[in-house]
Structure 1
């Protein structure tokens, strides 16, 4: 038997249950991963609480939970390619990650070797948050000496975006609540409070203007960037829905990240140029508490489940 987080009705963290199910095994063309860490994302709790949204991704109840994971390959099925038993890996499995075991078909587009020197907790944060940030920074064509406005800078994606932008040589202004200001300064960003009047506060901080913007939460930052005269081609959103304001581009998250984006990201982590703040870790038995903390959107970095 193995443990898996499941829910049978939609709702808040209270619907999540840790159950024992028959242990899955790798079939032909598949590998099985013994999961060691699961990184939570805001979308996880959206899937488990909003049936209409879940249906857009083919999810129905009963369902598993979570997407990002890291662990070790412990079974390789006949004709499976690219991995062997003992490989440390990280990847994504829609609504299946929070479990003792995940089975993935090969060749796998969302399963990668974990570089030596990167731990499982950090690796589990890369499939969505890390790759989304890398794709967003690439999308706006950021150049050295520019100033970029990043909305939601202290969140799971934001901590990567801020540091990647700094590595590109840009100055970063990041929107956040005042309680996260010191945290953002440690990452190299100049913090600014979100809310009405954002463009005026940014204008006061950026004497030379803002060249580009990344909106990681809603549309407020993108709208402010338009007011500040940032060209639409230099603004991207990840959570504005299919029609972002003013015709700005929408990044599809990690799906838009290239292999080169991921390689640059892991290389920067290994070099110590990017830190991956783990805000909190919980054993899988405390999945409800972990999801409640994540859903509050006040954590500085990533919330990780350990197994």
Structure 2
């Protein structure tokens, strides 16, 4: 049996528990992975709450948390190419199998080999935060010298967007809480306290004619406050709020293929991108790891360490 952490119904943190499930057997287009590290993301608690039914509304319960992982391939489906048993690998759990588990299934086309120079800890942050940031920067395709506003810059995606944008010659201004000032300025971005009086006026002063791009990672009222700061409405890209269309903006177009994973991994190896892993939790503290992210104030990336194969969470926790 495989130890996993998930939920038997949609809801809040109270529905989470440790589960046992049969060892995964990959289908033709899947790979089985012994998980070493799993990334923890806001999407995890959104899915647990039933907030994106098109992703997991059709799946039976219990469901396992998590969408990204790194580890070692233990079995390969007959239609999968480019991966073999024993390979270190990382990828998306687009199979619905989740990644808060000692073993899981990944879609072969959304899984890549982990470069020798890349740790599992960093590789596990590539599928969600890393590729989202790359998709945002690719989609905006701003010229060097352009000004980019990142609303909610202090999380894993925001810091990655800042680094990639700076590497592309952009001037980056980001909003976040004061506790994230140092990590934000460390990327070369200009920090603006989103709670400070006159924050919107200060942002407007950086680009009186409008920002060339606005990346929103907060949504809701915060999105609506910063959207008018863009030079054109279509220059507003939201990562998580589909209502961005109401202000003329667009949702980021996601790419989950192997090539995109490889591009982000290469940027990490080259030193262009640091995922800023700021918290590593053992598997038996999965609840605390997700709570840190769900709180909304976590800096950088949070991951679960499952490398100690003998560790187990207690069911019902």
Gaps of 5+ in 1: none
CA contact under 8 A between 1:13 and 1:289: conserved in structure 2?
no
Match of 1:91 in 2: 91
CA offsets per residue over residues 123-167 of structure 1, 9 Å max, x none? 111111111111111111122111110011011111110100100
* Equivalent position SS for 1:57: helix
CA offsets per residue over residues 42-67 of structure 1, 9 Å max, x none? 01011112x3x243323353211111
Cα RMSD (Å): 2.3
Give me the whole-angstrom Cα distance separating, in 2, the residues matched to 1:25 and 1:256: 26
Q: How does 1:146-165 map to 2 (within 5 A)?
A: 146-165=146-165
Give me the whole-angstrom Cα distance separating, in 1, the residues matched to 2:260 and 2:106: 23
Task: Mark the CA change 1:244 to 1:27 in structure 2 (over 3 Å): closer, same or farther.
Answer: closer
Give me the whole-angstrom Cα distance separating, in 1, the residues matched to 2:146 and 2:79: 49
CA contact under 8 A between 2:91 and 2:127: conserved in structure 1?
yes
CA contact under 8 A between 1:219 and 1:244: conserved in structure 2?
no
Deviates more, 1:123-132 or 1:257-266: 257-266
Partner of residue 100 from structure 1, selected from 96, 99, 102: 102
Match of 1:302 in 2: 301
CA contact under 8 A between 1:29 and 1:81: conserved in structure 2?
no
Give, in angstroms, the shift of residue 267 of structure 1: 2.4
The count of aligned residue pairs is 301
Give me the whole-angstrom Cα distance separating, in 2, the residues matched to 1:263 and 1:75: 21
Q: How does 1:1-307 map to 2 (within 5 A)?
A: 1-49=1-49, 51=50, 53-59=51-57, 60-78=60-78, 80-93=80-93, 94=96, 96-105=98-107, 108-194=108-194, 197-206=198-207, 210-219=211-220, 222-252=223-253, 255-256=254-255, 261-307=260-306
Give me the whole-angstrom Cα distance separating, in 2, the residues matched to 1:27 and 1:261: 23
* Equivalent position SS for 1:244: helix
Give me the whole-angstrom Cα distance separating, in 2, the residues matched to 1:232 and 1:207: 15
CA contact under 8 A between 1:148 and 1:170: conserved in structure 2?
yes
Give me the whole-angstrom Cα distance separating, in 2, the residues matched to 1:165 and 1:181: 18
Deviates more, 1:271-280 or 1:221-230: 221-230
CA contact under 8 A between 1:199 and 1:227: conserved in structure 2?
no
CA offsets per residue over residues 83-134 of structure 1, 9 Å max, x none? 11111111111351111111245xx231111122111111111111111111
CA contact under 8 A between 1:3 and 1:18: conserved in structure 2?
yes
CA contact under 8 A between 2:110 and 2:256: conserved in structure 1?
no
CA offsets per residue over residues 235-263 of structure 1, 9 Å max, x none? 211122155342112114xx246766544
Give, in angstroms, the shift of residue 283 of structure 1: 1.1
Give, in angstroms, the shift of residue 221 of structure 1: 5.8
Task: Mark the CA change 1:21 to 1:263 in structure 2 (over 3 Å): closer, same or farther.
Answer: closer
CA contact under 8 A between 1:145 and 1:171: conserved in structure 2?
yes
Match of 2:309 in 1: none
Task: Mark the CA change 1:257 to 1:212 in structure 2 (over 3 Å): closer, same or farther.
Answer: farther
CA contact under 8 A between 2:2 and 2:21: conserved in structure 1?
yes
Gaps of 5+ in 2: 307-317
**TM score, norm. by length of structure 2:** 0.86
Give, in angstroms, the shift of residue 270 of structure 1: 0.9
**TM score, norm. by length of structure 1:** 0.89
